[in-house]
Structures are given as C-alpha cells and as structure tokens.
Amino acid sequence: MNRLKVVITGATGMIGEGVLHECLNHPEVEKVLVITRKSCGYSNPKLTEIIHDNFLDFTSINDRLKGYNACYFCLGVTSVGKSETEYTKLTYTLTLGFAKILASLNPDMTFCYISGANTDSTEKGRSMWARVKGKTENDLMKLPFKQVYNFRPGGIEPFLSLKPTQTYYKTYRYLGWLFSMMKAIAPGYVIKLKDLAAAMINASLIGYSKIFWK
C-alpha cells in the first residue's frame, strides 16, 4: 500500500478544512499540498501551501502539481443568485480544468470530488445546480485517473472544535436540533465531517466498490 501524497482544494471552507485536518493526522498520509487563495492557517511538517488567485488558470504552478496520488477537491460555490452560465464556469469549468492537469501529470491518482445529494446524473433535470454537478461528475469519470469517486453528502456535521470563530461553525452550533431531526427522518442524508474525510482517505488507500457514495 503506497502512502498518500494528497492535493486538497477548498481548505479554507468547512469541508476542506475538515479533510485537511484528518489528512494531517492520518498515519498513511505522507504529505499534503493545499492550493488556496488565502492561507489555510495550518502549520505542519506534512503541509505545503500554494497561494494561487486564479483557479481558472494553473499554468504558473503546473510543475508543482506532479508527484501526488490523491486529490480531494472540496472547492465549491452556491448556485444561489447565479445564472447557469456563471455557476457552470465556477463549478464545471473550474473543476474539469484542474482535474485535467492533475490527470496528465499523475495518472496513478485517485480523484475524490465533493458533489452533493440529489445531483442529476442524467444532466436533464429541472434543477440547474444538479444538472451542472451531474455533468461535472460524469466528465470527471472520463478522465484518465486511476480512480474517481464522486461523494454526495447531504447534511454535514462539522468539527466544532477546530475553528469556532468561523461563521459557518457558529451557524452549525445553533443547528444541532436540525441534525437530530434529519437523522431521525432521513439518516442517510446526514454524515459527520470526520467520517466523510475518513471515507475519502480510505477510498484512496483501498478503493471502494461503488462510484458514488451517498
């Protein structure tokens, strides 16, 4: 079993930070490269950070993306207030552009993509965001990676102990009752961030029998 050399995007967001935290503390993760617009705020011997402003053009850092065998793509934006053209650019175009570079440099890589519950694999449904996410998933599967896993979480319980000053952690502290209700009504739609991160790492290390994890 090869130890993991991981690329993470979205490390300043809730999911990405949780995945980063688990990677830095996992014995089978050898090194972590975070690509971000602003510092993730972590310091660790395993961690290298690249501050990069333009996520639609990685030409200037291509040579620093080689030699990795896993990518956890946790970068994402809400579709609220965005046209389909804008959302497609920030979701599909950005993700596929980055993934194509990684696939060309690291054919032995496992690519894990954070999608979303109710994503539309047919690309024909009424929900704009679900169609765009579905197309993103489908086209990621066509790239020459060793493995691609599209994760579709619904409600996610964060690590409340990591950065309680962050806005999203403050919000989630007041939503404990909602998660309890969701677990009772639809337990398959709620997951702890720690478990989601562990599933991504395990998929990279030992694989998984399904393409989609819900």
User: For the chain, where are the E strands, in sequence order?
Assistant: 4-9, 29-36, 47-51, 70-73, 110-114, 147-151, 155-157, 190-192, 212-213
What pLDDT does 169 receive? 57
For range 154-176, the mean pLDDT: 62
In angstroms, what CA-CA distances link 89 with 37, 57, 83, 86?
A: 17, 12, 10, 5
Beta bridge partners of 190: 155
With 80 as the cut, is the pLDDT of residue 168 above it? no
For the domain spanning 4-159+191-213, the CATH number is: 3.40.50.720
List, for residues 7-23, the tens digit of each pLDDT value: 999 998 889 999 999 99
- List the domain boundaries for the chain: 4-159+191-213
Instruction: Report the percentage of the chain scoring pLDDT > 70.
Output: 83
**CA–CA distances in Å: residue 204 to residues 17, 28, 70, 177:** 18, 10, 6, 33
- pLDDT tens across 53-111, in order? 999 999 999 999 999 999 999 999 999 999 999 999 999 999 999 999 999 999 999 99
| pLDDT at site 157 | 75
Q: Which positions ≥6 away from 204 have C-beta within 8 Å?
A: 4, 6, 69, 70, 110, 112, 147
Average pLDDT of 154-172? 63
What pLDDT score does 207 carry? 87
Q: Supply the pLDDT for residue 165.
A: 47
What would the mean pLDDT of 103-121 be, rounded to a whole number?
A: 95
pLDDT at 187: 58
Q: Are 160 and 166 in contact (CB under 8 A)?
A: no
Say if CB 110 and CB 69 are below 8 A apart. yes
The better pLDDT of the pair 129, 210 is held by 129
Q: How confident is the model at residue 156 (pLDDT cuts 50, 70, 90)?
A: confident
Tokens found for residue 167: 């806005």
pTM of full prediction above 0.75: yes
Alpha-carbon gap, residue 52 to 56, rounded angstroms: 10
Give the type of residue at 88. Answer: T
* Beta-ladder partners of 166: none
Q: Average pLDDT for residues 119-127, to the nearest whole number?
A: 94
First CA to last CA distance, the chain: 26
- Whether pLDDT at 213 is above 60: no
